[in-house]
Structure 1
Amino acid sequence: MSDATLAPGAAAPAGTVGGASAATASDVMIAARLAPLPMTGYQKMIFAIIATAWFFDSIDLGSLTFLLGSIKTEFNLSTAQTGFLSSMSFVGMFLGAAISGMAADKIGRKLVFQISMIFWGLGSLWCYYAPDPQTLGYARLLLGFGMGMEFPVALAIVSEFVPTAKRGRYLAILEGFWPLGFIAAGLLSWFFLTHFTWREMFLCQAIPALFLFVVRFFVPESPRWLADQGRHGEAEKVMGEIEKKVLARLPAGTRLDEPKPLPPIARGERRFSFMELWSGEYASRTVMIWLVWFFALLGFYGLTTWLGALLQAQGFTNTKSTEYVVLIALAGVPGFITAAWLVDAWGRKPTCALMLVGSAVAAYAYGHAPSFTMLIVFGLTMQFFLFGMWSTLYAYTPELYPTRARATGAGCASAVGRIGSLIGPSLIGVVLPTLGSGGVFALGAGCFVAAALAVLILGVETRGKQLEAISS
């Protein structure tokens, strides 16, 4: 560590930095002070809070995979009606992701994150009381809206708090809470379907929304965002508190390294955050990441939403099919762990392509498995690559845009993906009676190949670069 002490809350240099304005100098200094901070229990606490909320959200989203068969039976729904019901969550997620990203770049990460939890908590509660499939569809719409709001804001918070050297790993690990949530959803669904009904499952899922009070009291606003908004006094105050809390968790006498000078942020006229996505170098990045999200989510949700129902169509009971889907999902754990290591060791772009191609091959093989044993083997392989894909995608997306448009970029990419996830289940509901399960999984494989081509042709590498350097 350097012998020079960086005083917590030190003021940003006045005047200019390499021709940049004083406001830009403050932006640069906040970033320079955040980037070299050692990863301590304080940043890990913030990460754990965001990851826990993500975990609860993932349970809500994943539970429909296990409950869809029971809902279909209770309401006597056709295959097409079931697919439409499952798509309602993704309509809400599309709206939530698109709106929350721009809102988080305008009014702050922390506030929007808390609001998202209120929406999905109320949506879960409404699902419990839904008397008919139409009302359940509206409830899933509200639930999806809250879930869609949370994802891009969580990515922005983690990417802006975690030091550069560990940013990719922690973003990938954050997405790893999705397979954990999916597995938990399967276990909870098995319990509730055995002892209660699907309604009690949704009631249980509403309770974790109270976790928003933990977010409110323990997660600070992003100092990067505050500085970018010109709220320099608040940015300095939050940055000083962060440095104090980091120092408190280091051995006595430890001094923080002096921040290394960063190049001034080139900034022309400030644009509406959505238009920023289509300016200069960001335009090709936006085209690339939108294509990846659209095809990846079309394939993923088209397949996984129907996994339980497809097994039931082959003669397995609700509980037995749930057991098999949970078993297959276990492979997602080593999948996201592998991706979390590869994104920093190998890079975001090649890891993303590898996981997408692996998903394509495994999905096709799953749809054409010659025996039940091979079905499980290919299912495990597919989930390994699918959850590796998710982890890489969530690590990669927020790094492509500047602070002023980071949540908007992640939110809009997620929203475009939700269009794919909306189309997927409904499309499968139409394709399944005609082409069978083999055709369904061949369609999913084609989607993953298209996403891999997009990232290979248009993708940029962001590994090991500070956020400000990537977006300069």
Structure 2
Amino acid sequence: MNQNRVNSADIAGFEAATYAKVTWRLMPILFLCYVAAYLDRVNVGFAKLQMLSDLNFSETVYGLGAGVFFIGYFLFEIPSNIILHKVGARIWIARIMITWGLISGAMIFVNSATMFYLMRFLLGVAEAGFFPGVILYLTYWYPAERRGKITAMFMTAVAISGVVGGPVSGWVMHSMPGIYGLTGWQWMFIIEALPSLVLGVVVIFYLQNHIVDAKWLSADEKQLLAKNVQTEAATKQEMSFKQVMTHPKIWHMAFIYFSFIMGLYGISFWLPTIIKATGVKDTLDIGLLTAIPYAAAAVGMVLIGRSADKNRERRWHVVIPALLGCAGLLLSTIYGHNTLLAMAALTLATIGILTTLPLFWSLPTAFLGGAAAAAGIALINSLGNLAGFVSPYLVGWLKDLTHSTDSGMYLLAASLVIGAVLTLMVPKEMVNK
């Protein structure tokens, strides 16, 4: 009996050490890639502070341009993820990063509303497939009971991009206007495109497509990892492409994700504007203040992801943060003219909204496997991210209509409640693994 206990402890220790090795190898590069990706996607929210007056854009034009990114993203998401599944993450993620870096840098040439819409659309086409591709890639390495924490770790990149990007964007726009005849927002696009280009090259030489390709793993480590993934794969549903497109569970997941993405891009594209409305005028100060909600969210995402894995409970770990996000948005409208209280409310909202996202992905990946996972994850992500088009456009339109962001925040708060209710409709037996 004692010998069995010792052997069990040895096996558990070996397994923990193996997954730690995988995590330290894969997560830093994937994390940095997502920081760069998300920064290039939402830095238009900072460019807005100068771009609108320089180019004579309305709030509605900005909202449409910010959102049209997701039309390109939607159209090319599923094909991109299927290609990644076939050719491997290494080449395809590198391709995505290099093309979106080039297009993001080319935003400096925007001089009209039409050009703004076109460049944002092309950026969406370039980036399509990155996020669902990484979510799919993680299923090749980690079983369900480990993916909550790992996905949360990966998605803290959204928060860290805000922690880093806010102050950097604010400083560039404050300090660099006029250098070589470029505006502050043009310099911001140039500087923030460079990490994506560099990381795209690094991915080619650093990432492995599958467990079997990892020369840095021993034979025993590969066997353990492959066994755990194969054991889980046996419990998942394989579907044809047509079945994926019409499966009620997948559409249910897409509606949940849409509801949460409404809140995410309300924060991502409008946080600098909301902070400015509290009375803060200098772009550097606004940039520094945006770092606070994102820093708090990074901590919350990891802690709640760890709790979900430890307790093997998924639904309430999604629902409670969504309701906290709703409360934060509502409070930010009540205290919108008090910078301190508004920042506290926005911090609560950002923690809640960002925490729902990694925990959400533990729901569909619990029942999708193989090629069905590639298509299903991409479909859920692409449909859900259409909220990235709807959300900034509606908030911009409502702001032009009412001259306040309050009505937009009410809309986003309601969306988070809808997402929470839809999450509770998911059978717990399907996702609590």
TM-score (norm 1): 0.78
Q: Which residue of 2 aligns with 1:328?
A: 293
AA at the equivalent of 2:407 = G
Q: Tell me which protein shows more helix as a share of its residues.
A: 2
- Alignment partner for residue 194 of structure 2, among 186, 204, 207? 207
AA at the equivalent of 2:315 = K
1:60-96 C-alpha deviation (Å, 9 max, x unpaired) = 1231222212111211111211111211222232234
What is the aligned-residue RMSD (CA, Å)?
Answer: 3.2
Q: Which residue of 1 aligns with 2:3?
A: none
AA at the equivalent of 1:160 = Y
CA–CA separation in structure 2 for the residues paired with 1:392 and 1:81: 33
Q: Which residue of 2 aligns with 1:337?
A: 302
Q: Which residue of 2 aligns with 1:373?
A: 340
Is it true that 1:104 corresponds to 2:71 in the alignment? Answer: no
Q: Which residue of 2 aligns with 1:252?
A: none
Q: Which residue of 2 aligns with 1:363?
A: 329
CA–CA separation in structure 2 for the residues paired with 1:457 and 1:464: 13
- Given that 2:61 and 2:113 are in contact with CA atoms closer than 8 Å, whether structure 1 keeps it comes out as no
1:350-383 C-alpha deviation (Å, 9 max, x unpaired) = 1111111111121111112263332121111111
CA–CA separation in structure 2 for the residues paired with 1:392 and 1:358: 15
Q: Provide structure 1 residue ranges, at least 5 long, that are not aligned to the other structure.
A: 7-34, 224-236, 249-254, 466-472
Q: Which residue of 2 aligns with 1:126?
A: 106
Q: Which residue of 2 aligns with 1:353?
A: 319
AA at the equivalent of 2:190 = L
Q: Give secondary structure in 2 for the equivalent of 1:336.
A: helix
1:113-142 C-alpha deviation (Å, 9 max, x unpaired) = 222112211211211233434323322222
CA–CA separation in structure 1 for the residues paired with 2:160 and 2:427: 29
CA–CA separation in structure 2 for the residues paired with 1:309 and 1:62: 13
Q: Which stretch shows the higher mean deviation, 373-382 or 171-180?
A: 373-382
- Given that 1:362 and 1:381 are in contact with CA atoms closer than 8 Å, whether structure 2 keeps it comes out as yes
Q: Give secondary structure in 2 for the equivalent of 1:221.
A: coil
- Alignment partner for residue 424 of structure 2, among 448, 456, 460? 456
CA–CA separation in structure 1 for the residues paired with 2:227 and 2:201: 33
Q: Give secondary structure in 1 for the equivalent of 2:280.
A: coil
AA at the equivalent of 1:353 = V
- Given that 1:105 and 1:408 are in contact with CA atoms closer than 8 Å, whether structure 2 keeps it comes out as no
- Given that 1:97 and 1:151 are in contact with CA atoms closer than 8 Å, whether structure 2 keeps it comes out as no
Q: Percent identity?
A: 16
Q: Which residue of 1 aligns with 2:265?
A: 301
Q: Which residue of 1 aligns with 2:30?
A: 50
Larger radius of gyration: 1
Map residues 30-429 of structure 1 onto 2, 5 A cutoff.
Answer: 38-196=18-176, 197-208=184-195, 209-222=197-210, 237-238=212-213, 241=215, 243-244=217-218, 259=227, 262=231, 265=234, 272-273=240-241, 275-276=243-244, 278=246, 283-319=247-283, 320-346=285-311, 347-369=313-335, 371-429=338-396
- Given that 1:274 and 1:405 are in contact with CA atoms closer than 8 Å, whether structure 2 keeps it comes out as no
CA–CA separation in structure 1 for the residues paired with 2:415 and 2:234: 38
TM-score (norm 2): 0.85
Q: CA deviation at 1:49?
A: 1.6
Q: Which stretch shows the higher mean deviation, 96-105 or 82-91?
A: 96-105
Q: Which residue of 1 aligns with 2:410?
A: 442
Alpha carbons of structure 1 residues 273 and 195: separation in structure 2 relative to 1, 3 Å: same
Runs of 4+ in 1 over 6 A off after TM superposition: 255-258
AA at the equivalent of 2:149 = R
AA at the equivalent of 1:368 = I
CA–CA separation in structure 1 for the residues paired with 2:173 and 2:295: 20
Q: How many residues align?
A: 412
- Given that 2:67 and 2:390 are in contact with CA atoms closer than 8 Å, whether structure 1 keeps it comes out as yes
- Given that 1:122 and 1:206 are in contact with CA atoms closer than 8 Å, whether structure 2 keeps it comes out as yes
- Given that 1:69 and 1:318 are in contact with CA atoms closer than 8 Å, whether structure 2 keeps it comes out as no
1:370-403 C-alpha deviation (Å, 9 max, x unpaired) = 6333212111111111121122124444333112
Q: Give secondary structure in 2 for the equivalent of 1:357.
A: helix
- Given that 1:295 and 1:448 are in contact with CA atoms closer than 8 Å, whether structure 2 keeps it comes out as yes
Q: Provide structure 2 residue ranges, at least 5 long, that are not aligned to the other structure.
A: 1-5, 177-183
AA at the equivalent of 1:425 = P
Alpha carbons of structure 1 residues 87 and 266: separation in structure 2 relative to 1, 3 Å: closer
